[in-house]
Structure 1
Amino acid sequence: MTGLKLPIYLISVWLLLCSHTVFGIWFNATGQAVIHDGNKAIAKQQATQEAIKQALMFAGASVKSVQHMANGLLEQDKFEVMSSGEVGTIELVDEIYHGDIVTVSIRVDIFPQKLACQASDYKKDIVTTWFQLSHRQQAAVGNMYDFGKVLAQELQHKSRSSAKYSSITQLEPYYFRPDNNNLQSSAFNLAKKANSQFVLFGEVTKFAVETQQKSGFSFWEKEQIKRNLALTVSLVDGISGEIIFQEQQEFSAPWDFDLHQDINAQSPSFWKSRYGQAAQQLLQDLNEKIDESVSCLPAFGRVINVGSEQITVNIGSQNGVRSGDTLTLFQVEQLYDENNQIVKQYQLHPEKVVVKSVFAKSAILISEKGALLANIQPNDFVARR
């Protein structure tokens, strides 16, 4: 009696990182299957189905049936899926027969679907820093040079108290503003340092006082003073380097304080003022935008410790991890194409892992089938699928 040969899946995802527009992502998937009774056609079909199934599930799809595939790749095969993306093209790259094993390689082009998705039930961790003032002289009115720090703290509070799919779990105590040339590398480093999946960069680009000119016919009216606020943010995936969104939110509201008065930006009187209430609304809108942007994205955890029989990851009960959950292990490599653009290659580990023990910020995982966890190292990742 021969030993059981388990299918091995290898997925390589080549993702060209774009600043604004999200294009289709090519998933290169390889599946293997055993040839029984010399029936190569059925084995090829099984290997292809498994490869496509793994690619789609890794992209966020939920496979309903694996019986027929359209588009001419295999005339008798089709996948019916509920997906967070749309499948554009499926190409048969290669098929290799070796003994009683067939290996099939495919390419799947998947486009993001913005209208509907099947959200992960894990919360995604976000790290940010204090928001730097791009024009510090504008903070002189009120002596509010720490306003960017206070804004970041308030946003973290809103995220922790009301966000459904994410949480700003880490606020680094310093000001940081990366430029577009090092945005991705800064995100990689900060996400790794803070054990977070996403990185939020923020900058206060406007914080100026505006004095409305009185008309000659209303000289008796009190001069109205307003102050503006513009906050520019970038949310970046700390694993892939993809920019999830970039935008600027701003407003102008009455300034209810004397121009020569020092203002404590953390005081209740400030946040109850008309300007403070407008700032609260801006932060709430931003919090909802962040949460919406990551709601359909999978939750990833980072491997922080490895043993022969178990591994430890940096997500736990605060993310929604529960004992008995099944996760997928994968590795990420950073490469460069011929245009010196960053691409990412994702490789799935053949062994599924199960959550054995859960703590607030970490969890211990073991192999689903009791096998040794070989070729796993710190800074590999797990995903809930």
Structure 2
Amino acid sequence: MLLVSSSPALAIWFEATGQAVIHNGEKEAARQQATQEAIKQALLFSGASVKSIQSLVNGLLEDDRFEIRASGEVNNIELIDEIYHDDFVTVSIRADIFPQEALCSASDYKKNIVTTWYNINKRQQAAVGNLYDFGKVLAEKIQEEAQNHARYSFINRVEPYYLNPLDKDKKSTAFTLAQKTNAQYVLFGEIVEFAVETSTTSAMQFWKSDQSKRNLTLSFSMYDGNSGEMVFQDTQNISALWDFDPYKSIDSNSRLLWGSTFGLATEKIIQEVVQSIDDSVSCLPAFGRVIKVTGESLSINIGKHNGVKQGDKLTLFQMNQFFDTQNFPHRQFQLHPEQVIVRQVYAETAVVESITGAPLANIQPNDFVARR
């Protein structure tokens, strides 16, 4: 089965093929069964609801060729081709699908995200408080918030290093990091501003002491580690009271810092960023990667942390990206004919096997699984 989709910002279209055996010469019944199978595969893989499938697959084939329209999730379904063999029929359809936000996130696993420590772009600004490792602690705080409160995403790794601020090729870095850490998305962050400003009290207000505020501007972007496309971008900034001695060193991970006015304001930013990231991936498909092939068993890089459960049924597929003559990206999904079932689940991985026991031919590490 072959499915092809356009950019996620536009309508997504899928081509799918279904087959059915012809019993006792009843070609029409087999034709309908093959068509229903093709429609189900396309809609389930795209994230459509069961209700939509049931409303679309019944009573379609009254004419030799058909075209239907439906509001909401499915805009258009067309019959492309049908081929009769000796004892079975193959039907191909094309569906233009607009997944509805309320439905497309309902059953997905959590998506794995990797990030790194965050650079302080103007490093000299960290001198006040000696907070040169603030970007490290910030990344760990974001991971903690995501693991505790995110519904659709899971920051499974914080790589213990700072990225080179001069390296602007984030797509290439995303490919490398995703492959290395078994993540689906790569979150980049940087501390754009970290300066302390002090306002001097006028002589007319001698009873007031000078006040200092610390500015914090954070910039984030997130990339799909398989396609290289950016799926999230955000900038957050605050200016909060800095009630510390400017010559005193402060532990970046201390309760003193995070319980202060500045720390509490930064916590709020962290919560907003994690919520925004979670919202941005809620309707994106959750893919797991095959990391090991052992006989007829496959190890995949998603597990209990992502919501995987023993007995879950998954679709195996290979994914490629290509560009058309106008340089627009398209994804091509090659679905494997055998579904797999989860036999064992661990914290970050799982083991799957063929449901029917048939050989999982041509499946290799770096192929994918999805629950559809």
Same fold by TM-score, threshold 0.5 exceeded?
yes
Cα 1:332/1:33, change in 2 over 3 Å: same
> After the TM superposition, which residues 80-159 of structure 1 pair with which residues of structure 2 at under 5 Å, given as runs?
86-120=73-107, 122-159=109-146
Alignment partners' CA distance in 1, 2:132 and 2:301: 35
The AA in structure 2 aligned to 1:275 is F
Distance 2:293 2:64 in 1: 40
In 2 relative to 1, CA 178–243 (structure 1 residues): closer, same or farther, beyond 3 Å?
farther
Q: Percent identity?
A: 55
- Residue aligned with 1:351, SS: coil
1:127 deviates by 0.7
Query: In 2, are the aligned partners of 1:68 and 1:78 still within 8 Å (CA)?
Result: no
Q: What does 1:56-71 correspond to in 2, within 5 Å?
A: 56-64=43-51, 65=54, 66-68=57-59
2:349 aligns to what? 362
- 1:192 is matched with which residue? 179
| Structure 1 residue 357, shift from structure 2 partner | 1.8
Question: Are positions 1:34 and 2:15 aligned together?
Answer: no
Gaps of 5+ in 2: none
The amino acid that maps onto 1:332 is M
Aligned counterparts of 2:312 and 2:97: Cα–Cα separation in 1: 26
Q: For each residue in 1:90-141, what CA deviation from the matched residue of structure 2 results, as whole angstroms up to 9, or x when unmatched?
A: 2333333333333222222222433444423533221111112222232222
Distance (Å, rounded) in 1 between the aligned partners of 2:171 and 2:294: 31
| Number of residue equivalences | 367
Deviation at 1:69, TM superposition (A): 5.0
CA-to-aligned-CA distance 1:245-287 (integer Å, 9 cap, x gap): 2111111100111222222211111111100111111112222
- Counterpart mapping for 1:1-385 below 5 A: 10-16=1-7, 22-64=9-51, 65=54, 66-68=57-59, 86-120=73-107, 122-176=109-163, 182-212=169-199, 214=201, 217-218=204-205, 220-385=207-372
Greater alpha carbon shift after TM alignment, 256-265 vs 291-300: 291-300
Further displaced range: 287-296 or 149-158: 287-296
3-state DSSP class of the match of 1:26?
strand
Distance, in Å, in 2 between the alignment partners of 1:30 and 1:280 is 50
The change in CA–CA distance for 1:341 and 1:182 in structure 2 (over 3 A counts) is farther
Q: Could you say what secondary structure the match of 2:98 adopts?
A: strand
Aligned partners of 1:384, 1:292: CA distance in 2, in Å? 20
Q: For structure 1, list consecutive stretches of 5 or more residues without a partner in the other structure.
A: 1-9
What amino acid does structure 1 have at the position aligned with 2:92? S
Give the TM-score taking structure 1 as reference length. Answer: 0.86
Using the TM superposition, give the Cα deviation of residue 343 of structure 1 relative to its aligned residue in structure 2, in angstroms.
2.8
Partners of 2:99 and 2:69 lie apart in 1 by 20
Contact 1:13 1:26 in 2 (8 A): yes
Q: CA 1:119/1:235 → structure 2, altered by over 3 Å: closer, same or farther?
A: farther
Please report the RMSD computed on the Cα atoms of aligned residues, expressed in angstroms: 2.8
Cα displacement (A) at 1:178: 7.9
Q: Given the two structures, how large is their TM-score scaled by the length of structure 2?
A: 0.88
Mapped contact 2:18–2:38 kept (Cα < 8 A)? yes
The 8 Å contact of residues 67 and 77 in structure 2, kept in 1 or not, is answered as no
